[in-house]
Structure formats: structure tokens, C-alpha cells
Amino acid sequence: MKNKKRILSGVQPTGELHLGNWLGAIRNWVTLQEQYETFLCVVDLHAITAEHNPKELTQNTLSTAALYIACGIDPNICSIFVQSHIPAHSELCWILNCMTPINWMERMIQFKEKSIQQGNNVSIGLFNYPILMAADILLYDADYVPVGEDQKQHLELARDIAQQRINAKFSKEKDILKIPQPIIMKSGSKIMSLIDGSRKMSKSDPNEGSRINLLDTPEIISKKIKRAKSDSYIGLEFNNPERPESRNLLMIYSILSGKEISQCEKEFSETGWGTFKKLITEQLIESLSPIQEKYKVLINDPHQLNNILIEGKEKADNLAKKTLKRVKSKLGFFEMGK
């Protein structure tokens, strides 16, 4: 156990988790959890960077944790915890805020995209989002951070802050913060919207039809796939740049069925959209049903879920406190005698 490298990752409890969260993130954690010491955070402080509803935040925090487990995360070997339960996240975030040049932040692509979506209502928190994420990662001395392609830039930022703004400036000998590396999974790291194959499947898309939620009923799945964007070609293809929707649905089908992309391409080379949509609908229902069953059991046992989160919090808190103390001491914050 001691020699295992550590990973940390998280998903925001905004809205319901969808297929992109599962295939692009959680599924990868499941394959990594045996090999790595795994910390998984429900990043509720990130969830308030867009307008939020308090009741929904509470519910979504619990359901996100339950879905981690329903998707195959084993709470006996992983630490699952809620970000806001560990005050060190906010505290390190403040310190890193003060160490980070504004012009580094102005390059963040996701901020630009999200701030366009949010119009006049963009908060400083949204701008700072990547710094809070850096704090999440750096607090746990994470060796690796499994993330989707779109989070690569945020991870780069965390590395630059740790290396250039903390380690290089405040310690001549031993590094204060560990420099994390990304793990970007090859397939599925970017699942696209059902109604626009050039955009990522996202919780913040106002159109529900753009995504399959993990808790969608068979009827809803079927309706969403029926309405999903298709094109006028016959046969499904993966590498035709003019057919992003075909690529996306083939990728989803391939991951869920466990068949190679090339095999799927062969199988569906002459299949029309109508038939393919029926098949992918059946596959989705079949793949999501065990997750939904496990979820139901968990969410109806709040006591057990609570215990899992308490245990996760204790392990996380221990580590986070140590890192924060190290940083504060190196930066010169006065420590009171006992």
C-alpha cells in the first residue's frame, strides 16, 4: 500500500452525471483504483461557480458520490470525499490565488467558453476555478491526475503554479509541492453532445437532449437517441471529419459493447441510422441498468453513504492538513507555539 502512487480526481455535482462523466472520467478511475492509492472528490465548491440551487446542490452531492460507487468505485480501497468538507481546499486556493499571475489565467480556454455561456453573470469564482482545482490536486501530493482532454490545460496550470510559483520561489532544496502528471485516457476521454458532434457532452448545455444521464429511464434514452443528430450517409464511420456524430456514437457503442472501433465500423458499414439507433439504444439501456440498480440501493441507505463520506473525509483531511501546513510554514506564516 505504501509504495503505491497516488491519483486524485473529481467531478462537479452540478446536475445529473451523464455518459460523458462516466465514459470519460469515472470509468477510468475504476480501472486505476487497484493500482493506485485513489482519492476521489465531489467538487461541490466548483459547483457554485455557476448559478446554483441550494437544494439541488445537496442532492447532487450525495447522488454524485453514490454514482461513483454505482459505476464501480470501491469505497473499501478508495477515499471518496466532499471538497467543502476539507477547509484546506479553500485555504490553499487563496494562497495560490495570490501566487498566480492574472495573465496565466486569461489564457484558460474553458473560462472563455463558459463565460460566453453565462453572459452577464460571470463570477470571480468562475475565473478562479482552475486555481481551486490546482489546490485540489496539490493538497494530496497526487502523482497522477486522470482527466479528460479538456482539463489538460488546467492541469498544466497546476503544474506551473506548483513548480514556478511555489517550489522555485520558496524552497531552495526540497520541493514543497509535488508536481502532478496527467493521465489522459485514449478512448472516450471526450464524449460529444448528441445534438452537435463538435461540442462536448456537458451538464451546462441547456438542452437535455444533448446528453444521456446515467439515471435516464429506458424511455428517455430511447427518445434522446431518436432525436440525436444524424446525417444523410448510410453506414457508420469513425474517421470521416464531416461526420462527427457518427464518430461519437460509434465510440460510445464501442466502449459499451467492448468491441473494437474497427470491428464496429465493419459491422455497421452498411447499416442505416434507424437500425443503428435501435441497437445503440438497447446497448445503452443494458449498460446503464446495473449502475441504476446499484445506485437505487445506495441512495436508499443514506447511513451507509454518510459513513463512506466520513471515512473519506478523515483520510483526505489528514493529508491535506499536512500539505497546507508545509506550504504555510515555507511561506512564512507565523505558527503559534503550543
Assess contact for 276 and 243: CB atoms under 8 A: no
Active site residue 200: yes
Least distance (Å) between residue 83 CB and ligand TRP? 8
Spell out, one character per residue from 46 to 65, where the chain touches ligand TRP: x when CB under 6 A holds, - when not: x-------------------
Active site residue 296: no
Active site residue 315: no
Please tell me whether residue 133 binds ligand TRP under the rule CB under 6 A. Answer: yes
Instruction: Name residues contacting ligand TRP, limited to 136-155 (CB under 6 A).
Output: 136-137, 145, 147, 151, 154
Least distance (Å) between residue 147 CB and ligand TRP? 5
Compare residues 49 and 287 and give the one whose CB is closer to ligand TRP: 49
What is the chain's percent helix, strand, coil content, to nearest 5?
55, 10, 35
Size of the site for ligand TRP (CB under 6 A): 14
**Helix locations, 228-301, DSSP H:** 244-257, 261-267, 273-299
Least distance (Å) between residue 110 CB and ligand TRP? 8
Least distance (Å) between residue 291 CB and ligand TRP? 19
Take residue 281 and report the three cell numbers written for it: 439504444
Secondary structure class of 151 (helix, strand, coil): helix
Q: Report the distance separating Cα 335 and Cα 338, nearest Å.
A: 9
Compare residues 47 and 221 and give the one whose CB is closer to ligand TRP: 47
Contacts of 222 (CB under 8 A, 6+ apart): 281, 285
Compare residues 9 and 79 and give the one whose CB is closer to ligand TRP: 9
Take residue 187 and report the three cell numbers written for it: 478512448
Catalytic residue among 200, 224, 229, 277: 200
Secondary structure class of 12 (helix, strand, coil): coil
Compare residues 48 and 279 and give the one whose CB is closer to ligand TRP: 48
Q: Report the distance separating Cα 93 and Cα 130, nearest Å.
A: 10
Strand-by-strand arrangement of the 6-11 sheet: 78-82, 37-42, 6-11, 144-147, 181-184
Compare residues 33 and 222 and give the one whose CB is closer to ligand TRP: 33
Q: Report the distance separating Cα 282 and Cα 288, nearest Å.
A: 10
Assess contact for 121 and 51: CB atoms under 8 A: yes
Residue from 43, 161, 185, 250 that binds ligand TRP (CB under 6 A)?
43
Residue from 9, 38, 60, 84 that binds ligand TRP (CB under 6 A)?
9
Least distance (Å) between residue 45 CB and ligand TRP? 9
Least distance (Å) between residue 94 CB and ligand TRP? 16
Please tell me whether residue 12 binds ligand TRP under the rule CB under 6 A. Answer: yes
Compare residues 151 and 230 and give the one whose CB is closer to ligand TRP: 151
Secondary structure class of 259 (helix, strand, coil): coil
Least distance (Å) between residue 43 CB and ligand TRP? 4
Catalytic residue among 203, 224, 229, 277: 203
- Which residue is it, cell 473529481? 10
Catalytic residue among 2, 4, 55, 114: 114
Question: Nearest Cα to 12, choosing from 271, 209, 202, 240?
Answer: 202
- Which residue is it, cell 462523466? 21
Q: How do 181-184 and 144-147 pair as beta strands?
A: parallel
Compare residues 237 and 317 and give the one whose CB is closer to ligand TRP: 317
Q: Residues interacting with ligand TRP, by CB under 6 A? A: 8-12, 43, 46, 133, 136-137, 145, 147, 151, 154
Which positions are annotated as active-site residues? 114, 200, 203
